[in-house]
Amino acid sequence: MTILSACQSAAIRLVGRKPTTIFSSQKAFELELSDLVQEAAVDIAKAFEWQALMVLAEHQGDGTTTAFDFPAGYDRMPVKGNIHSATWQQSGYRPARDRDHWINLQTYLSAGTPGFWIVLDNQMQIFPPMGPSEKAQYYFLTGEIAKSASGDGKTVISADDDVFKLDERLLTLALIWRWKEMKGLEYSESMANYERALAQIGSADKGRRILSVGSRRTSIDADLAFPGTIIP
């Protein structure tokens, strides 16, 4: 379903007519919807860690690099996101507690194996540097909330035939209450309908987890002992 169809559904309920276009129209109502739709879509995307917006990222080590650019479209890490090691399957990378901990790890402390991570300067930072055979993998939430008619990801909705990656009904309900608010009309019931639908759809989506076979022997957050052999 397209952005146009979501806007048409909202328009029928708001003004009793079905626009044939939104983004190429110069009519006041269509201009208002085209201005509201991006804000509405972004707010929906930020409300939950939607499965449809999860993207797998990979960084290959080279023995020296510690800072890696995020893939195109990166928006944020999941709240409980983990960085997994392709080599150390039982113990992934551990998150640094804060910036001070990160400095201490690099200056004074042994980071252990496979190491620690932190997001700094809009980059994924991993220490110590991964070896050439090492690869880090993690999921992130993309800011590409829509896709074009040709299937390309988009962060900004700009065409009638763009497709919202999330539930179209949520977008319609969001447009209804936002337009009423903008026009100074009573919108509390419309907003409540939107919030109720958002909670129901978001909770159901959030409950769909990726299953892993077997159990982790060591917590990712655990501080591991020295991995080598100590000779007295």
pLDDT for 192 equals: 98
Residue 183, helix vs strand vs coil: coil
- Residue 189 pLDDT exceeds 90: yes
* Contact between residue 91 and residue 224 where contact means Cβ atoms under 8 Å apart: yes
pLDDT for 109 equals: 66
Q: Quick: pLDDT tens for 123-171.
A: 999 999 999 999 999 999 999 999 999 999 999 999 999 999 999 999 9
Q: What is the DSSP string of 50-106?
A: -GGGEEEEEEE--SS--EEEPPTTEEE--TT--BEESS-TTS-BEEPSSHHHHHHHH
What is the reported pTM?
Answer: 0.83
- Residue 221 pLDDT exceeds 70: no
- Residue 218 pLDDT exceeds 70: no
Give the pLDDT band (50/70/90) at residue 217: very low
> What value does the mean pLDDT take over residues 206-226?
41
- Residue 51 pLDDT exceeds 50: yes
Q: Quick: pLDDT tens for 58-115.
A: 999 999 999 999 999 999 999 988 999 988 877 789 999 999 999 998 888 666 778 9
pLDDT for 222 equals: 47
Give Cα 102 distance to the centre of its chain: 24
Q: What is the average pLDDT value for the chain, to the nearest integer?
A: 88
